[in-house]
Chains A and B, each alone.
Chain A
Amino acid sequence: MTAAFAAVLRRDLLVALRRKGDALNVLIFFVIVASLFPLGTGAEPGQLRTMAAGVIWVGALLAALLSLPRLFAADLADGTLEQMLVSAQPLPAVVAAKVAAHWLSTGLPLALIAPVLGLQYGLPSDALLVLLGAVLLGTPVLSLVGAAGAALTLGVRGAGVLTGLLVLPLCVPALVFGAGALTASLSGLAPGPHLSLLGALLAVSLPLGLWAACAALRVALD
Protein backbone atom coordinates (compact mmCIF):
# COMPACT_ATOMS: atom_id res chain seq x y z
CA MET A 1 0.00 0.00 0.00
CA THR A 2 2.78 2.43 0.91
CA ALA A 3 4.65 1.22 -2.17
CA ALA A 4 1.65 2.11 -4.34
CA PHE A 5 1.35 5.51 -2.65
CA ALA A 6 5.03 6.21 -3.22
CA ALA A 7 4.97 5.03 -6.83
CA VAL A 8 1.97 7.17 -7.82
CA LEU A 9 3.23 10.18 -5.87
CA ARG A 10 6.62 9.93 -7.53
CA ARG A 11 5.13 9.58 -10.99
CA ASP A 12 2.71 12.50 -10.60
CA LEU A 13 5.40 14.78 -9.21
CA LEU A 14 7.70 13.81 -12.07
CA VAL A 15 4.96 14.63 -14.58
CA ALA A 16 4.28 17.94 -12.80
CA LEU A 17 7.98 18.73 -12.85
CA ARG A 18 8.14 18.14 -16.60
CA ARG A 19 5.03 20.23 -17.15
CA LYS A 20 6.06 23.18 -15.02
CA GLY A 21 3.77 25.46 -17.00
CA ASP A 22 0.64 23.99 -15.42
CA ALA A 23 1.70 24.71 -11.85
CA LEU A 24 3.18 28.05 -12.81
CA ASN A 25 -0.07 29.18 -14.46
CA VAL A 26 -1.97 28.49 -11.23
CA LEU A 27 0.54 30.49 -9.24
CA ILE A 28 0.53 33.43 -11.66
CA PHE A 29 -3.28 33.41 -11.69
CA PHE A 30 -3.27 33.65 -7.89
CA VAL A 31 -0.82 36.55 -7.90
CA ILE A 32 -2.79 38.42 -10.58
CA VAL A 33 -6.16 37.98 -8.83
CA ALA A 34 -4.73 39.16 -5.52
CA SER A 35 -3.05 42.12 -7.23
CA LEU A 36 -6.14 43.26 -9.12
CA PHE A 37 -8.17 44.04 -6.00
CA PRO A 38 -6.04 46.97 -4.75
CA LEU A 39 -6.18 48.42 -8.27
CA GLY A 40 -9.94 48.26 -8.26
CA THR A 41 -10.68 49.35 -4.70
CA GLY A 42 -7.96 51.92 -4.15
CA ALA A 43 -4.85 51.53 -2.04
CA GLU A 44 -6.02 52.93 1.29
CA PRO A 45 -3.90 50.90 3.82
CA GLY A 46 -6.61 50.36 6.46
CA GLN A 47 -9.11 49.19 3.88
CA LEU A 48 -6.57 46.88 2.23
CA ARG A 49 -5.75 45.28 5.56
CA THR A 50 -9.40 44.52 6.31
CA MET A 51 -10.05 42.89 2.95
CA ALA A 52 -6.70 41.05 2.71
CA ALA A 53 -7.97 37.84 4.30
CA GLY A 54 -10.99 37.50 2.03
CA VAL A 55 -9.18 38.42 -1.16
CA ILE A 56 -6.22 36.09 -0.59
CA TRP A 57 -8.46 33.18 0.35
CA VAL A 58 -10.86 33.60 -2.55
CA GLY A 59 -7.85 33.97 -4.86
CA ALA A 60 -6.30 30.76 -3.54
CA LEU A 61 -9.62 28.96 -3.90
CA LEU A 62 -10.06 30.02 -7.53
CA ALA A 63 -6.45 29.23 -8.36
CA ALA A 64 -6.73 25.75 -6.85
CA LEU A 65 -9.94 25.25 -8.82
CA LEU A 66 -8.11 26.08 -12.03
CA SER A 67 -5.83 23.07 -11.60
CA LEU A 68 -8.53 20.53 -10.78
CA PRO A 69 -9.84 19.48 -14.22
CA ARG A 70 -6.46 17.93 -15.10
CA LEU A 71 -6.26 15.92 -11.89
CA PHE A 72 -7.95 12.81 -13.31
CA ALA A 73 -8.80 13.82 -16.87
CA ALA A 74 -5.26 13.34 -18.19
CA ASP A 75 -5.07 9.87 -16.64
CA LEU A 76 -8.48 9.02 -18.08
CA ALA A 77 -7.46 10.11 -21.57
CA ASP A 78 -4.23 8.08 -21.72
CA GLY A 79 -5.67 4.98 -20.05
CA THR A 80 -3.61 5.05 -16.85
CA LEU A 81 -6.73 5.62 -14.72
CA GLU A 82 -8.15 2.34 -16.03
CA GLN A 83 -4.91 0.63 -15.07
CA MET A 84 -5.10 2.10 -11.56
CA LEU A 85 -8.59 0.66 -11.10
CA VAL A 86 -7.65 -2.86 -12.18
CA SER A 87 -4.26 -2.76 -10.48
CA ALA A 88 -2.97 -4.83 -7.61
CA GLN A 89 -3.04 -1.73 -5.42
CA PRO A 90 -5.88 -0.42 -3.27
CA LEU A 91 -7.60 2.48 -5.03
CA PRO A 92 -7.71 4.76 -1.95
CA ALA A 93 -3.89 4.62 -1.72
CA VAL A 94 -3.62 5.57 -5.40
CA VAL A 95 -6.11 8.44 -5.07
CA ALA A 96 -4.47 9.65 -1.84
CA ALA A 97 -1.14 9.79 -3.69
CA LYS A 98 -2.70 11.74 -6.55
CA VAL A 99 -4.23 14.22 -4.09
CA ALA A 100 -0.91 14.55 -2.26
CA ALA A 101 0.89 15.21 -5.54
CA HIS A 102 -1.74 17.77 -6.50
CA TRP A 103 -1.30 19.55 -3.18
CA LEU A 104 2.51 19.51 -3.41
CA SER A 105 2.47 20.90 -6.94
CA THR A 106 -0.27 23.54 -6.50
CA GLY A 107 -1.43 23.95 -2.88
CA LEU A 108 2.04 24.19 -1.36
CA PRO A 109 3.30 26.84 -3.81
CA LEU A 110 0.07 28.81 -3.21
CA ALA A 111 0.64 28.63 0.54
CA LEU A 112 4.25 29.74 0.21
CA ILE A 113 3.43 32.74 -1.94
CA ALA A 114 0.40 33.82 0.12
CA PRO A 115 2.53 35.66 2.76
CA VAL A 116 4.26 37.57 -0.04
CA LEU A 117 0.87 38.73 -1.26
CA GLY A 118 0.03 39.51 2.36
CA LEU A 119 2.95 41.94 2.41
CA GLN A 120 1.39 43.67 -0.55
CA TYR A 121 -1.70 44.24 1.62
CA GLY A 122 0.41 45.64 4.43
CA LEU A 123 -0.16 42.80 6.87
CA PRO A 124 2.02 42.80 10.03
CA SER A 125 4.54 39.97 10.38
CA ASP A 126 2.61 37.93 12.97
CA ALA A 127 -0.46 38.04 10.71
CA LEU A 128 1.69 36.79 7.82
CA LEU A 129 2.61 33.71 9.87
CA VAL A 130 -1.06 33.08 10.66
CA LEU A 131 -1.85 33.45 6.96
CA LEU A 132 0.85 30.93 6.05
CA GLY A 133 -0.41 28.45 8.65
CA ALA A 134 -4.03 28.86 7.61
CA VAL A 135 -3.31 28.42 3.89
CA LEU A 136 -1.07 25.41 4.66
CA LEU A 137 -3.98 23.81 6.52
CA GLY A 138 -6.66 24.94 4.10
CA THR A 139 -5.20 24.03 0.71
CA PRO A 140 -5.16 20.26 1.41
CA VAL A 141 -8.89 20.57 2.12
CA LEU A 142 -9.31 22.20 -1.29
CA SER A 143 -7.30 19.39 -2.92
CA LEU A 144 -9.39 16.70 -1.21
CA VAL A 145 -12.79 18.28 -1.89
CA GLY A 146 -11.55 19.14 -5.37
CA ALA A 147 -10.50 15.55 -6.05
CA ALA A 148 -14.02 14.37 -5.23
CA GLY A 149 -15.46 17.08 -7.47
CA ALA A 150 -13.06 16.32 -10.31
CA ALA A 151 -13.83 12.60 -10.06
CA LEU A 152 -17.59 13.25 -10.10
CA THR A 153 -17.38 15.38 -13.24
CA LEU A 154 -14.94 13.09 -15.04
CA GLY A 155 -15.81 12.66 -18.68
CA VAL A 156 -18.64 15.20 -18.51
CA ARG A 157 -18.75 18.02 -21.05
CA GLY A 158 -17.86 21.38 -19.50
CA ALA A 159 -16.31 19.55 -16.56
CA GLY A 160 -14.25 22.58 -15.51
CA VAL A 161 -17.23 24.83 -14.77
CA LEU A 162 -19.22 21.99 -13.23
CA THR A 163 -16.32 21.13 -10.90
CA GLY A 164 -16.36 24.74 -9.74
CA LEU A 165 -20.09 24.69 -9.08
CA LEU A 166 -19.67 21.50 -7.06
CA VAL A 167 -16.50 22.33 -5.18
CA LEU A 168 -16.81 26.04 -4.35
CA PRO A 169 -19.84 25.72 -2.02
CA LEU A 170 -18.14 22.83 -0.23
CA CYS A 171 -15.09 25.00 0.34
CA VAL A 172 -17.04 27.67 2.23
CA PRO A 173 -16.07 26.32 5.69
CA ALA A 174 -12.37 26.39 4.77
CA LEU A 175 -12.81 29.95 3.50
CA VAL A 176 -14.65 31.07 6.65
CA PHE A 177 -12.18 29.59 9.13
CA GLY A 178 -9.13 30.45 7.04
CA ALA A 179 -10.09 34.07 6.56
CA GLY A 180 -11.39 34.12 10.16
CA ALA A 181 -7.97 33.19 11.53
CA LEU A 182 -6.38 36.15 9.77
CA THR A 183 -9.11 38.58 10.75
CA ALA A 184 -8.85 37.44 14.37
CA SER A 185 -5.10 37.92 14.36
CA LEU A 186 -5.45 41.41 12.87
CA SER A 187 -7.94 42.47 15.52
CA GLY A 188 -5.66 41.23 18.30
CA LEU A 189 -7.53 37.99 19.06
CA ALA A 190 -5.97 34.53 19.19
CA PRO A 191 -6.16 32.81 15.77
CA GLY A 192 -5.77 29.40 17.44
CA PRO A 193 -9.44 28.34 17.47
CA HIS A 194 -9.86 29.09 13.79
CA LEU A 195 -6.72 27.14 12.93
CA SER A 196 -7.90 24.23 15.08
CA LEU A 197 -11.20 24.22 13.23
CA LEU A 198 -9.33 24.25 9.92
CA GLY A 199 -7.31 21.27 11.14
CA ALA A 200 -10.50 19.49 12.14
CA LEU A 201 -11.93 20.23 8.71
CA LEU A 202 -8.86 18.66 7.13
CA ALA A 203 -9.22 15.58 9.36
CA VAL A 204 -12.84 15.18 8.26
CA SER A 205 -12.30 15.83 4.58
CA LEU A 206 -9.39 13.37 4.34
CA PRO A 207 -11.46 10.17 4.65
CA LEU A 208 -14.63 11.65 3.14
CA GLY A 209 -12.89 13.20 0.14
CA LEU A 210 -10.92 10.02 -0.64
CA TRP A 211 -13.99 7.84 -0.24
CA ALA A 212 -16.11 10.05 -2.49
CA ALA A 213 -13.37 10.33 -5.11
CA CYS A 214 -12.84 6.53 -5.22
CA ALA A 215 -16.57 5.85 -5.51
CA ALA A 216 -16.95 8.47 -8.23
CA LEU A 217 -14.00 7.10 -10.21
CA ARG A 218 -15.47 3.58 -10.19
CA VAL A 219 -18.75 4.96 -11.49
CA ALA A 220 -17.05 7.14 -14.09
CA LEU A 221 -15.18 4.17 -15.57
CA ASP A 222 -18.10 1.72 -15.42
Chain B
Amino acid sequence: MLNANGLSCERGDRQLFAGLSLALEAGGLARLLGANGSGKTSLLRILAGLTRPAAGEVRWRGERIGDLAEEYGRELAYIGHAPALKDELTVAENLAFAARLAGIVASGAQLEAALEVLGMATRAALPARVLSQGQKRRVSLARLALPGAPALWLLDEPFAALDEDGIGRVRALTEAHLARGGMLVLTSHQDVPVAAGSIQTVTLGA
Protein backbone atom coordinates (compact mmCIF):
# COMPACT_ATOMS: atom_id res chain seq x y z
CA MET B 1 0.00 0.00 0.00
CA LEU B 2 2.52 2.60 1.14
CA ASN B 3 5.92 2.16 -0.48
CA ALA B 4 8.89 4.45 -0.09
CA ASN B 5 11.94 3.75 -2.21
CA GLY B 6 15.44 5.13 -1.86
CA LEU B 7 14.42 8.23 0.05
CA SER B 8 17.06 10.72 0.96
CA CYS B 9 16.64 13.99 2.75
CA GLU B 10 18.90 17.01 3.07
CA ARG B 11 18.43 19.88 5.46
CA GLY B 12 20.77 22.74 4.67
CA ASP B 13 24.09 21.11 3.80
CA ARG B 14 23.55 18.13 6.04
CA GLN B 15 22.29 14.83 4.76
CA LEU B 16 19.85 13.38 7.28
CA PHE B 17 19.36 10.01 5.64
CA ALA B 18 19.85 8.38 2.26
CA GLY B 19 18.64 5.27 0.49
CA LEU B 20 15.84 4.72 2.96
CA SER B 21 13.08 2.33 1.96
CA LEU B 22 9.88 1.43 3.70
CA ALA B 23 6.93 -0.76 2.79
CA LEU B 24 3.72 -0.84 4.74
CA GLU B 25 0.80 -3.21 4.17
CA ALA B 26 -2.68 -3.24 5.70
CA GLY B 27 -2.44 -3.57 9.47
CA GLY B 28 1.24 -2.69 9.47
CA LEU B 29 3.02 -0.44 11.92
CA ALA B 30 6.30 1.35 11.29
CA ARG B 31 8.16 2.92 14.20
CA LEU B 32 10.69 5.59 13.40
CA LEU B 33 13.49 5.75 15.93
CA GLY B 34 16.46 8.05 16.23
CA ALA B 35 18.00 10.84 18.23
CA ASN B 36 16.75 14.45 18.09
CA GLY B 37 17.56 15.91 14.71
CA SER B 38 18.05 12.55 13.02
CA GLY B 39 15.24 13.23 10.55
CA LYS B 40 12.21 11.45 11.99
CA THR B 41 9.91 14.42 11.45
CA SER B 42 11.42 15.08 8.02
CA LEU B 43 10.69 11.49 7.01
CA LEU B 44 7.10 11.77 8.24
CA ARG B 45 6.69 15.03 6.30
CA ILE B 46 8.05 13.35 3.17
CA LEU B 47 5.61 10.47 3.63
CA ALA B 48 2.78 13.02 4.07
CA GLY B 49 3.82 14.78 0.87
CA LEU B 50 4.66 18.05 2.61
CA THR B 51 8.40 17.90 1.93
CA ARG B 52 9.90 16.74 -1.32
CA PRO B 53 12.68 14.18 -0.84
CA ALA B 54 16.10 14.98 -2.33
CA ALA B 55 15.95 11.57 -4.01
CA GLY B 56 13.55 8.65 -4.12
CA GLU B 57 9.79 8.53 -4.23
CA VAL B 58 6.75 7.62 -2.17
CA ARG B 59 3.96 5.56 -3.71
CA TRP B 60 0.48 4.93 -2.35
CA ARG B 61 -1.40 1.97 -3.85
CA GLY B 62 1.22 2.01 -6.60
CA GLU B 63 0.86 5.65 -7.58
CA ARG B 64 3.21 8.52 -6.80
CA ILE B 65 1.75 10.66 -4.02
CA GLY B 66 2.62 13.82 -5.93
CA ASP B 67 0.23 12.75 -8.71
CA LEU B 68 -2.54 11.79 -6.28
CA ALA B 69 -2.63 15.18 -4.46
CA GLU B 70 -5.96 15.49 -2.58
CA GLU B 71 -6.87 11.87 -3.30
CA TYR B 72 -3.94 10.91 -1.08
CA GLY B 73 -5.03 13.54 1.44
CA ARG B 74 -8.39 11.78 1.77
CA GLU B 75 -6.69 8.56 2.90
CA LEU B 76 -4.15 10.21 5.13
CA ALA B 77 -4.13 11.66 8.61
CA TYR B 78 -0.95 13.53 9.46
CA ILE B 79 -0.63 14.91 12.95
CA GLY B 80 2.55 16.87 13.50
CA HIS B 81 4.15 18.58 16.47
CA ALA B 82 1.76 21.53 16.41
CA PRO B 83 -1.74 20.66 17.60
CA ALA B 84 -3.41 22.55 14.70
CA LEU B 85 -6.01 24.13 16.98
CA LYS B 86 -7.27 27.69 16.78
CA ASP B 87 -7.11 29.35 20.20
CA GLU B 88 -10.21 31.41 19.43
CA LEU B 89 -12.42 28.40 18.66
CA THR B 90 -13.88 25.89 21.08
CA VAL B 91 -12.73 22.30 21.26
CA ALA B 92 -15.85 21.11 19.40
CA GLU B 93 -15.50 23.78 16.69
CA ASN B 94 -11.85 22.88 16.19
CA LEU B 95 -12.66 19.20 15.83
CA ALA B 96 -15.54 19.91 13.44
CA PHE B 97 -13.22 21.98 11.26
CA ALA B 98 -10.49 19.33 11.28
CA ALA B 99 -13.12 16.77 10.24
CA ARG B 100 -14.38 18.90 7.34
CA LEU B 101 -10.82 19.48 6.18
CA ALA B 102 -10.37 15.72 6.13
CA GLY B 103 -13.55 15.40 4.08
CA ILE B 104 -15.56 13.94 6.95
CA VAL B 105 -18.99 15.34 7.72
CA ALA B 106 -19.60 14.46 11.36
CA SER B 107 -22.72 15.08 13.41
CA GLY B 108 -22.59 16.71 16.82
CA ALA B 109 -23.05 13.36 18.53
CA GLN B 110 -20.20 11.82 16.51
CA LEU B 111 -17.90 14.70 17.41
CA GLU B 112 -18.77 14.27 21.07
CA ALA B 113 -18.20 10.52 20.87
CA ALA B 114 -14.77 11.10 19.30
CA LEU B 115 -13.86 13.54 22.07
CA GLU B 116 -15.07 11.00 24.63
CA VAL B 117 -12.64 8.41 23.21
CA LEU B 118 -9.82 10.78 24.17
CA GLY B 119 -11.54 11.77 27.43
CA MET B 120 -12.21 15.34 26.33
CA ALA B 121 -16.01 15.36 25.93
CA THR B 122 -16.52 17.44 29.07
CA ARG B 123 -14.24 20.17 27.65
CA ALA B 124 -16.09 20.42 24.31
CA ALA B 125 -17.33 23.97 24.90
CA LEU B 126 -14.03 25.38 26.18
CA PRO B 127 -11.90 27.58 23.93
CA ALA B 128 -8.70 25.83 22.87
CA ARG B 129 -6.75 28.73 24.42
CA VAL B 130 -7.30 27.45 27.97
CA LEU B 131 -6.23 23.86 27.31
CA SER B 132 -2.93 22.41 28.54
CA GLN B 133 -0.41 20.92 26.09
CA GLY B 134 -1.60 17.41 26.84
CA GLN B 135 -5.25 18.35 26.41
CA LYS B 136 -4.48 20.03 23.08
CA ARG B 137 -2.78 16.86 21.92
CA ARG B 138 -5.83 14.82 22.92
CA VAL B 139 -8.11 17.13 20.94
CA SER B 140 -5.91 17.02 17.85
CA LEU B 141 -5.83 13.22 18.06
CA ALA B 142 -9.60 13.06 18.55
CA ARG B 143 -10.22 13.32 14.81
CA LEU B 144 -8.68 9.88 14.43
CA ALA B 145 -11.61 8.54 16.47
CA LEU B 146 -14.23 9.93 14.07
CA PRO B 147 -16.14 7.50 11.88
CA GLY B 148 -14.62 7.39 8.41
CA ALA B 149 -11.10 8.13 9.63
CA PRO B 150 -8.50 7.57 6.89
CA ALA B 151 -6.49 4.41 6.32
CA LEU B 152 -2.99 5.76 6.84
CA TRP B 153 -1.98 7.57 10.00
CA LEU B 154 1.29 9.45 10.25
CA LEU B 155 1.75 10.51 13.85
CA ASP B 156 4.65 12.61 15.11
CA GLU B 157 5.24 11.92 18.80
CA PRO B 158 1.58 11.08 19.53
CA PHE B 159 2.36 10.26 23.16
CA ALA B 160 4.29 13.45 23.91
CA ALA B 161 2.78 15.58 26.70
CA LEU B 162 0.16 12.90 27.46
CA ASP B 163 -0.37 11.45 30.91
CA GLU B 164 -0.73 7.74 31.60
CA ASP B 165 -4.48 7.79 30.98
CA GLY B 166 -3.95 9.65 27.67
CA ILE B 167 -1.23 7.26 26.53
CA GLY B 168 -3.54 4.33 27.26
CA ARG B 169 -6.37 5.88 25.25
CA VAL B 170 -4.17 6.71 22.25
CA ARG B 171 -2.62 3.25 22.39
CA ALA B 172 -6.07 1.63 22.35
CA LEU B 173 -7.10 3.90 19.47
CA THR B 174 -4.06 3.02 17.36
CA GLU B 175 -4.34 -0.70 18.11
CA ALA B 176 -8.00 -0.70 17.07
CA HIS B 177 -7.00 1.10 13.87
CA LEU B 178 -4.31 -1.48 13.09
CA ALA B 179 -6.68 -4.35 13.89
CA ARG B 180 -9.14 -2.92 11.34
CA GLY B 181 -6.39 -3.10 8.71
CA GLY B 182 -5.25 0.48 9.00
CA MET B 183 -1.65 1.57 8.67
CA LEU B 184 0.39 3.59 11.11
CA VAL B 185 3.75 5.30 11.01
CA LEU B 186 4.81 6.90 14.26
CA THR B 187 7.78 8.48 15.89
CA SER B 188 8.08 8.21 19.62
CA HIS B 189 10.70 8.64 22.28
CA GLN B 190 8.58 6.87 24.82
CA ASP B 191 8.65 3.12 24.51
CA VAL B 192 4.91 2.59 24.27
CA PRO B 193 4.20 -0.94 23.05
CA VAL B 194 1.60 -0.85 20.27
CA ALA B 195 0.41 -4.28 19.19
CA ALA B 196 0.21 -4.86 15.44
CA GLY B 197 0.21 -7.70 12.93
CA SER B 198 3.52 -6.60 11.51
CA ILE B 199 5.90 -4.17 13.10
CA GLN B 200 8.97 -2.72 11.47
CA THR B 201 11.46 -0.40 13.03
CA VAL B 202 13.32 2.23 11.07
CA THR B 203 16.32 3.62 12.90
CA LEU B 204 17.56 6.93 11.59
CA GLY B 205 20.97 8.51 12.06
CA ALA B 206 22.55 5.15 12.75
Contacts and interface: CB of A to CB of B under 8 A. Distances in A.
A78 B101 contact: no
B-side interface size class? 20 to 34
Contact of A15 (B74, B81, B88, B101): B88
A86 B49 CA distance: 7
A206 interface: no
Q: Determine chain A's interface SS by DSSP, over half rule.
A: helix
Interface stretch (B92-100, B163-171, B181-189): B92-100
B156 to A, nearest CB: 10
Nearest to A84: B101
A88 B103 contact: yes
A7 B101 contact: yes
Contact of A14 (B50, B51, B89, B105): B89
Contacts, number: 76
A83 B101 contact: yes
A122 B81 CA distance: 55
B86 A85 contact: no
A80 B50 contact: no
B73 interface: yes
Contacts of A19: 88
A161 interface: no
Contact of B84 (A14, A79, A221): A79
B52 A78 contact: no
Interface of B: 48-52, 69-70, 73-74, 76, 78, 80-89, 93, 97-98, 100-103, 105
Interface of A: 3-4, 7-8, 11, 14-15, 18-19, 77-80, 82-90, 221-222
18 contacts: A3-B105, A7-B97, A7-B100, A7-B101, A11-B97, A14-B88, A14-B89, A14-B93, A82-B80, A83-B98, A85-B50, A86-B48, A86-B76, A87-B73, A88-B101, A89-B73, A89-B101, A90-B70
